Structures are given as C-alpha cells and as structure tokens.
C-alpha cells in the first residue's frame, strides 16, 4: 500500500536512527508514553509552530487564507489513512468529541440497545450511561478466555433492537487489539442497520486501518498518540451514505448555513460535525503527522512496534514480582505491568527521576475491565517505532534497581 513509493521492508536500525534524528524529544527523555502523547517529529513541529508564527505576523484570518490548501490536504491525508474520502472526514479538537458527535447523533429510541466491550474507554462509557437515561439498554459483552471480546457472545446479543455497537479498537489500558474486522462481519450479518463505531484512537498511526475492510460506519482518532501529532486535535470519519441518519447534537455556522430568518441547511459533508473556530496550527501539525507516518509506511511502523513491545514484555516477565498484564490474541505497543509490592506510583516516580517516562492507567479509564480483573492501577509503558533496545534496557534496569533498593 505504500502511497509515497517508500519501500515496504522491515525497518532497519538506520531507519530508526533517522526517525530519532527527526525527533528532538529523544535527546531529553526515554519516552514510554506514546499511548498518552508521543514525541512529535520536527516536520510536525515546523508546521504547527510555523502557522502560529504566521498568525502572529500577518493575522489569524489571513494566515488561515494562506494555509487553506494545506488545511484541505489534512482531510485528504486522514481519508487516505483510513480508506475514506475527504468529504467523510471532520476535524475535531480531540478524538472523544468526534466519537461524541456521531454517538450522540444516533436517533436512539426507548428500548434500543447499545452493545459495547469490557475494555471500552471511560469517556465513552460515561456518554453511554447518559444516553441510557433515555431508556436505552447498555449491554457489555464479556471477554473470552484470551481477554478480547467474546465473538460468540457478541453474535448472540445482536438483533434488530441493537442501534449501536461501540468498540475501542485498542484500549487505553493494555496491548489488546480487538478483532475489529470480525466484529464488523458479525454486525453486518446480525444487525445490519446498527451503527458500528470504532474508537481507533489508540490504533490510528499504529496499525493499518481500512474502514471498508473493518466494516465500521464511523471511526474516531486523535493526533497526539501513535500519530505523533500535536495535542488538542482529532477527527471523526463517517460513511457518506449514512451521514444523513445522524442528527448532529450541536451545530454552528460551520456545520450549517443560515439560509433564512427561520431556516438553516446542514453542510452536505462530515464537516457538519465541526465547529467554526479551531486550532488551525494543531490541525496542520496533525496533517503533517499523518503524511509523515504514511511516508514511513504504517505496516512497517506496526511491525516495529510489535517487535519492541514483545521485547519489553519478555524482559519484564524475567523480573521477580512483576506481572505483565496485557491481554488479547493480537497485541500492539501498550505494555502494562504490576509489581507484587511496589505501587505503580512508586515505579513511575523512580523511573521519572531517571528521565524515563511511563504513565499509570487506573480503573477510572476502563472500569469494566479493571474491576473484572481485580485491578486498581497499572504501570503503562507504551513503545513506538522509535523505541530502541537501549531504552528498553534502561526501563527494565530501572525497575530492577528499584526492586533491590
Ligand atoms: C486516549 C483515548 C481516548 C481519548 O482521546 P482524546 O483525543 O483525548 O479525546 C479515547 N479512547 C481511547 C481508547 C483512548 O485511549
């Protein structure tokens, strides 16, 4: 699929060195928080900061006019990344708002059902619980023995009462990648009118995504995680042929035209979910981040991430008292662990003092799953293609030193 004529072979050490040479942050930290906010490459910084500079120099509206073509290209880049058309893309301030615009826009009726997974993201579940107040039933499909959604039980839950199937492709709290394509086939088969909405916020930029192959109706992503773009930018992509089924929950004069004193007309495309005012610098940075990832080749990025994550999991498993907690048949770049004695906070702070960034994932973000596994918090160490073996040694060595100290 390389769109930009880049080779598709596995990423060699000098490829990784080139990517790191592009990334100012690797001089300062050993970063294992790519699933939180990755370290952006220089071209992303140049696009973002460059636009802010232009706004200061010539005025914000004038800088927008001057950047209009490059802003249009952001839609094309995102469309190309997920196998959609630019008219199906809406740019948002984050991934959650994109997801919200679709899910709150679904015309739920009393007695409808919403089906979701055990590892669904907290913000999404909170929104579902609010929608449930309208008399909609929320059904959480249990996991199978490997810790991914149980496809047989999903199949058994789906019928014409199901209005939406809402799935986090990769949860915030572990390596699991849900079988999105199998889910899509089951939804199309059992509940063809249901909305299948994929929260791809952890997978975009990490693995190849093709909305047609997945069979989802909408897909939400953001900029700051595996795409390595700036914070405060995201998107949602909605199939054009289903767009009119949604009633955007909030609209402004970007989403619609005020056509007469008492009338308005929604935009014909997915930009009806956008708001007029936006951080154009962040959007430009996100667009460059997508182009950058596509130029490297998402397949190559994916393979390198899997390799580094497996390396980290296997080294951590060798440490006494450490349990690696990742689930699922297919796993990506998020690695989670607990220690029998040390708290996640102790581990995070100790590593932080050595310039090693990890994060903590808690029950707040993924309560269904964490409660089922009896977990309150875990250390999350997420790798990317730029993660080196030496960084992995430093992380594992750090935990080792803390354990014996
Ligand atoms: C981070 C995350 C989100 C939230 O993304 P925002 O861009 O911050 O809104 C949603 N879902 C999952 C699975 C996440 O990991």
Q: Of all atoms in ligand 1, which is nearest to the CA of residue 223?
A: 7
- In the chain, CATH 3.40.640.10 covers 49-295
> pLDDT 10s digit of each residue in the chain, 405 long?
334 445 568 899 999 999 999 999 999 999 999 999 999 999 999 999 999 999 999 999 999 999 999 999 999 999 999 999 999 999 999 999 999 999 999 999 999 999 999 999 999 999 999 999 999 999 999 999 999 999 999 999 999 999 999 999 999 999 999 999 999 999 999 999 999 999 999 999 999 999 999 999 999 999 999 999 999 999 999 999 999 999 999 999 999 999 999 999 999 999 999 999 999 999 999 999 999 999 999 999 999 999 999 999 999 999 999 999 999 999 999 999 999 999 999 999 999 999 999 999 999 999 999 999 999 999 999 999 999 999 999 999 999 999 998
Q: How many residues does the chain have?
A: 405
CA of 301 to the centre of ligand 1 (A): 20
Q: Of all atoms in ligand 1, which is nearest to the CA of residue 168?
A: 13
Architecture of domain 49-295 in this structure: 3-Layer(aba) Sandwich (3.40)
Q: Which pLDDT value is given to residue 4?
A: 42
Q: Of all atoms in ligand 1, which is nearest to the CA of residue 170?
A: 13
Instruction: Give the span between the Cα atoms of 306 and 26, in whole angstroms.
Output: 20
User: β-pairing, 234-238 with 218-222?
Assistant: antiparallel
332 touches 180 (CB < 8 A)? no
293 touches 206 (CB < 8 A)? no
Q: Which pLDDT value is given to residue 2?
A: 38
CA of 126 to the centre of ligand 1 (A): 13
Orientation angle between helical segments 60-82 and 42-58, nearest 10 degrees: 150
CA of 121 to the centre of ligand 1 (A): 7
CA of 404 to the centre of ligand 1 (A): 36
Q: Which pLDDT value is given to residue 3?
A: 43
- In the chain, CATH 3.90.1150.10 covers 13-40+297-404
Q: Of all atoms in ligand 1, which is nearest to the CA of residue 123?
A: 10
Gyration radius of the chain over CA positions = 21
- In CATH, 13-40+297-404 is 3.90.1150.10: yes
User: β-pairing, 89-92 with 113-117?
Assistant: unpaired
pLDDT tens by residue, 137-171? 999 999 999 999 999 999 999 999 999 999 999 99
167 touches 363 (CB < 8 A)? no
Measured from CB, residues less than 6 Å from any atom of ligand 1 are 94-96, 121, 123, 168, 171-172, 199, 201-202, 222, 234
Instruction: Give the span between the Cα atoms of 214 and 84, in whole angstroms.
Output: 12
Candidate from 35, 201, 333 with most ligand 1 atoms within 8 A of CB, to mutate: 201
Contacts within 8 Å (CB) and 24+ apart, 299-303: 299/1, 299/8, 299/208, 300/8, 300/9, 300/10, 300/11, 300/15, 300/385, 301/11, 301/205, 301/206, 301/384, 301/385, 302/206, 302/207, 302/208, 302/332, 303/10, 303/11
């Amino acid at each position: 699929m390389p769109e930009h004529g880049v080779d598709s072979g596995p990423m060699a050490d000098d490829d990784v060195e080139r990517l790191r040479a592009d990334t100012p942050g690797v001089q300062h930290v050993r970063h294992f928080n790519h699933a939180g906010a990755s370290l952006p490459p220089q071209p992303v910084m140049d696009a973002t900061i460059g636009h802010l500079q232009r706004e200061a120099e010539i005025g914000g509206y004038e800088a927008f006019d001057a950047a209009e073509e490059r802003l249009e290209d952001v839609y094309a880049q995102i469309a190309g990344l997920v196998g959609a058309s630019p008219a199906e893309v809406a740019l948002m301030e984050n991934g959650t708002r994109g997801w919200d615009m679709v899910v709150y826009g679904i015309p739920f009726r009393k007695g409808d059902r919403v089906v979701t997974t055990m590892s669904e993201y907290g913000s999404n579940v909170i929104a579902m619980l609010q929608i449930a107040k309208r008399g909609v039933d929320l059904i959480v499909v249990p996991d199978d023995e490997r810790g991914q959604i149980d496809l047989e039980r999903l199949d058994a839950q789906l019928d014409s009462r199901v209005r939406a199937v809402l799935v986090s492709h990769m949860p915030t709290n572990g390596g699991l990648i849900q079988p999105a394509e199998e889910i899509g086939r089951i939804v199309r088969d059992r509940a063809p009118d249901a909305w299948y909405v994929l929260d791809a916020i952890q997978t975009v930029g990490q693995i190849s995504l093709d909305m047609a192959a997945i069979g989802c109706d909408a897909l939400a992503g953001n900029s700051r995680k595996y795409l390595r773009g700036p914070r405060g930018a995201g998107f949602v992509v909605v199939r054009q042929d289903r767009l009119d089924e949604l009633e955007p929950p909030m609209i402004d004069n970007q989403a619609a035209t005020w056509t007469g004193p008492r009338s308005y007309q929604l935009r014909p495309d997915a930009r009806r979910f956008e708001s007029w005012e936006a951080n154009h610098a962040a959007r430009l940075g996100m667009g460059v981040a997508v182009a950058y990832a596509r130029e490297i080749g998402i397949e190559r990025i994916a393979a390198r991430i899997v390799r580094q994550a497996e390396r980290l999991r296997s080294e951590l498993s060798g440490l006494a008292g450490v349990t690696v907690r990742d689930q699922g048949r297919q796993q990506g770049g998020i690695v989670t662990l607990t220690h029998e004695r040390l708290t996640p906070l102790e581990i995070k702070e100790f590593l932080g003092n050595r310039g090693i960034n990890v994060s903590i994932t808690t029950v707040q973000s993924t309560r269904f799953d964490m409660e089922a596994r009896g977990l309150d918090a875990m250390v999350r160490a997420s790798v990317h293609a730029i993660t080196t073996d030496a960084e992995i040694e430093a992380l594992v060595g750090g935990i080792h030193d803390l354990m014996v100290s």
